C-alpha cells in the first residue's frame, strides 16, 4: 500500500512535510523535538493535519473506512492499561478482521513465536519488562497482518539482538513500513530510504548513503561523524567524535 504525505502541516510543529513510502522500509530520523512523532501521528490518524493530505493508495486516510484493517501502529502511546495476558494483547491485533477462530489462533501463535515471546503467552502483560512489552506490542502489530506498519522508535527498550531481530522482521514483511529511529546506524542498515527532519521540516531525503553524510549530520545533529563501510555488508555506518559541534 502506498502512503503519501503532501504538504502536511500541524500548527507550528511540522510544516509542509512531503514524503512517500511504498512496499519498502522508510525511516524518519532527526533530533529530539524535530516533529517525527507528530508526522507519524498524522499517518495513523491520531492527528488531523491543519493543511496537507495523507493518502493511502491515493485515498484520503481520513475518508477511508478500512484503515484500521490495513494499518498497524506501534507508537509512543501504545499502552495496555488493563491486566491482559500476553496472548490476549496479541489477539487484539485480530479485532479489525472477520473472526476465524482457527486462523486467528494460528496467526497469534506465529506472531508470538516470531518476536520470541511464546514463553510469555500466559503471563500478565503488566508484569513484563520494558523490552518484553515492546516485543509483545510488535507481535500484536504483526498479528494484525497490516499492509502499512507505522513504528515510532520500535527498538526502544530492546537489547541489541532484539533490535536487529525486530528491524529485520519489519523489513522481511515486504509491506510499507514507516519508522522513526534514533539510531542512525540501524536506520542505515534497515531502511531503504530516509527522511531527515529538523525543526519540523524535511531537510534531506534519499538512500542512507545519500543522506547520512558528515555535512548533514553536523548541520542537523551538531556532532562530527565519520562514515565507514560496514566490513561485511558495505552499508554506511557512522562513527562519532565525542565533542559536540556548536
Ligand X SMILES: Nc1ncnc2c1ncn2[C@@H]1O[C@H](COP(=O)(O)OP(=O)(O)OP(=O)(O)O)[C@@H](O)[C@H]1O
In terms of CB distance, is 13 or 169 closer to ligand X?
13
Query: Does residue 146 sit in helix, strand or coil?
Result: coil
In terms of CB distance, is 28 or 107 closer to ligand X?
28
Q: Does 93 contact ligand X by CB under 6 A?
A: no
Whole-number minimum distance, CB 102 to ligand X, in Å? 40
Options 15, 34, 75, 87; binder of ligand X; rule CB under 6 A = 34
In terms of CB distance, is 125 or 195 closer to ligand X?
195
Q: Does 218 contact ligand X by CB under 6 A?
A: no
Contact range with ligand X by CB under 6 A, out of 29-37, 139-147, 163-171, 215-223: 29-37
In sequence order, what DSSP letters do the residues of the chain get, joined into one string? Answer: -EEEEEEEEETTTEEEEEEEEESSEEEEE-STTSSHHHHHHHHTTSS--SEEEEEETTEETTT-S-HHHHEEEE-TT----S--BHHHHHHGGGTTSPP-HHHHHHHHHHHHHHTT-GGGTTSBGGGS-HHHHHHHHHHHHHHT--SEEEEESTTTT--HHHHHHHHHHHHHT-SEEEEE-S-HHHHHHH-SEEEEEETTEEEEEE-HHHH--HHHHHHHH-EEEEEEE-TTT--EEEEEEEEEP-
Query: Does residue 27 sit in helix, strand or coil?
Result: strand
Question: What is the Rg, in whole angstroms, of the alpha carbon atoms belonging to the chain?
Answer: 18
In terms of CB distance, is 33 or 206 closer to ligand X?
33
Contact range with ligand X by CB under 6 A, out of 30-38, 59-67, 92-100, 237-245: 30-38
Return the C-alpha cell found at 23: 512496499
Whole-number minimum distance, CB 21 to ligand X, in Å? 17
Binding mask 38-67 for ligand X (x = CB under 6 A): x-----------------------------
Binding mask 137-176 for ligand X (x = CB under 6 A): ----------------------------------------
Q: Does 13 contact ligand X by CB under 6 A?
A: yes
In terms of CB distance, is 114 or 155 closer to ligand X?
155
**How many degrees, rounded to 5, is the angle at CA 156 between CA 40 and CA 24?**
50
Answer yes or no: are the C-beta atoms of 136 and 147 closer than 8 Å.
no
Whole-number minimum distance, CB 75 to ligand X, in Å? 10
Contact range with ligand X by CB under 6 A, out of 32-40, 57-65, 163-171, 224-232: 32-40
In terms of CB distance, is 35 or 93 closer to ligand X?
35
N-term to C-term CA, the chain:
42
Q: Does 208 contact ligand X by CB under 6 A?
A: no
Q: Does 135 contact ligand X by CB under 6 A?
A: no
Binding site for ligand X (CB under 6 A): 13, 30, 32-38
Amino acid at each position: 500500500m502506498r502512503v503519501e504525505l503532501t504538504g502536511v502541516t500541524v500548527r507550528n510543529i511540522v510544516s509542509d512535510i512531503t514524503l512517500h513510502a511504498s512496499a519498502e522500509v522508510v525511516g524518519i530520523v532527526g533530533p529530539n523535538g524535530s516533529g517525527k512523532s507528530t508526522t507519524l501521528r498524522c499517518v495513523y490518524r491520531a492527528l488531523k493535519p491543519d493543511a496537507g493530505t495523507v493518502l493511502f493508495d491515493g485515498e484520503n486516510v481520513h475518508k477511508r473506512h478500512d484503515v484500521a484493517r490495513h494499518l498497524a501502529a506501534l507508537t509512543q502511546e501504545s499502552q495496555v492499561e488493563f491486566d491482559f495476558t500476553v496472548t490476549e494483547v496479541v489477539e487484539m491485533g485480530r479485532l479489525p478482521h472477520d473472526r476465524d477462530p482457527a486462523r486467528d489462533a494460528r496467526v497469534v501463535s506465529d506472531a508470538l513465536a516470531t518476536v520470541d515471546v511464546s514463553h510469555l503467552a500466559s503471563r500478565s502483560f503488566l508484569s513484563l519488562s520494558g523490552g518484553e512489552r515492546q516485543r509483545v506490542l510488535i507481535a500484536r502489530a504483526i498479528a494484525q497482518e497490516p499492509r502499512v506498519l507505522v513504528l515510532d522508535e520500535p527498538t526502544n527498550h530492546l537489547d541489541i539482538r532484539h533490535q536487529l531481530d525486530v528491524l529485520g522482521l519489519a523489513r522481511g514483511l515486504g509491506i510499507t513500513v514507516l519508522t522513526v529511529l534514533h539510531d542512525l546506524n540501524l536506520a542505515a542498515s534497515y531502511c531503504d530510504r530516509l527522511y531527515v527532519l529538523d525543526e519540523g521540516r524535511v531537510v534531506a531525503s534519499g538512500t542512507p548513503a545519500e543522506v547520512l553524510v558528515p555535512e548533514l549530520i553536523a548541520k542537523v545533529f551538531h556532532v562530527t561523524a565519520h562514515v565507514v563501510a560496514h566490513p561485511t555488508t558495505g552499508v554506511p555506518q557512522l562513527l562519532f567524535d565525542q565533542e559536540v559541534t556548536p
